[in-house]
Structures are given as structure tokens and as C-alpha cells.
Amino acid sequence: MWSRRWVICATIAAASIAACRAPRIEQADTLDDRVFVFLECIDCTNGERARVILMGDSAVPSLRLALLNGPDSLRVDALERALSQGTLAVASPDLVRRQAEVYRGSYRRRAAGALRDIGGLPAHRALCESKATRVSLGADSAYVDSAIVRAGARCR
């Protein structure tokens, strides 16, 4: 018959194995400066992407934040103001709205691509989490799907 001690040991061992297989994704409240520079660069010709990839798992929390939330709402508001007022003013509110969506999409696509290239379980989990929240991704969900496939991630 199973002894109580054996059952307790087996339970602890099973919990330890599960904990090893499912590392927690560290949460970020703000973007790491290197990730921010990468997400904001226009031509990205100074190694911005490579610096983020070299960060490895430490970049995952910031990239996850960018993938799920896009750019900070204050930055989007500033872009919309710049496009609708002053010297950059454009006539169409639709164009302003579309440009804001392009900006949001750029963040998400760059974050998904960097997570794909970093690889590993934390990056895969961040990609899969974004897939589960498709509503916020809009048109970028196909890009995330591609990143998941190319990374070899297995989403449940």
C-alpha cells in the first residue's frame, strides 16, 4: 500500500517538474530602453534589432508588453495631434486613424519578430499569449501566427 510519505514526496516531485517546465514570464510595466529604441527606429540601421535579440530572455517582458499593448497611448496621441494639427496637418481624419494603426502595428510586428528570433520557452509563451488575445491584434494576428510557426512554438 502507498505510504503517506511516498504520496507527499511524489506530489512534491510532480509539482517541481511542472514548475521546471512552465517558467513564469516576468511582467514588465515599462519598456527596456534598448527595446524602446528598436521599436521606435525608422531605418534600424545601427544594430537596434541585434541588440534586442542579444538580450535574450531578458528582452521578453518588454517585447511581450509591446506585442500585447502596442505603443504607449501618449505616443499615439502625440502622433495623431502632429498629423492633424500644425505643419504636418493632413485633411482626412481617416488618414490620421490609419497612420496611428500603422504605428501600433509596427510595434506589434517588430515585437513578434524579435520574440520569434529570441526563441525559447518564455518567448514562445509570450507569442502564444498574444494569439489568445486576437481582438487587440487586429490585422497583425496573421503576422503573430507566422512568428509562432517559424519559432516552432506550440500553443494550446
Is the Cβ–Cβ distance between 90 and 84 less than 8 Å? Answer: yes
Percent of the chain clearing pLDDT 70 (strictly above): 74
Strands (E), the chain: none
pLDDT (0 to 100) of residue 91: 59
If one compares 80 and 23, the residue with the highest pLDDT of the two is: 80
Q: How far is CA 22 from the centre of its chain?
A: 18
> What is the C-alpha to C-alpha distance for residues 144 and 137, in angstroms, rounded to an integer?
9
Q: Of 25-34, 64-73, 139-148, where does mean pLDDT reach its minimum?
A: 25-34
Query: Is the pLDDT confidence value at 23 over 80?
Result: no
Question: For the chain, which residues make up each domain, given as ranges?
Answer: 24-151
Summarised one tens digit per residue, pLDDT across range 86-145 is: 665 665 788 888 888 888 889 999 999 999 999 999 999 999 998 887 645 666 778 888
Report for 8-12, 31-35, 129-133: range of highest mean pLDDT: 31-35
Mean pLDDT of 64-88: 84
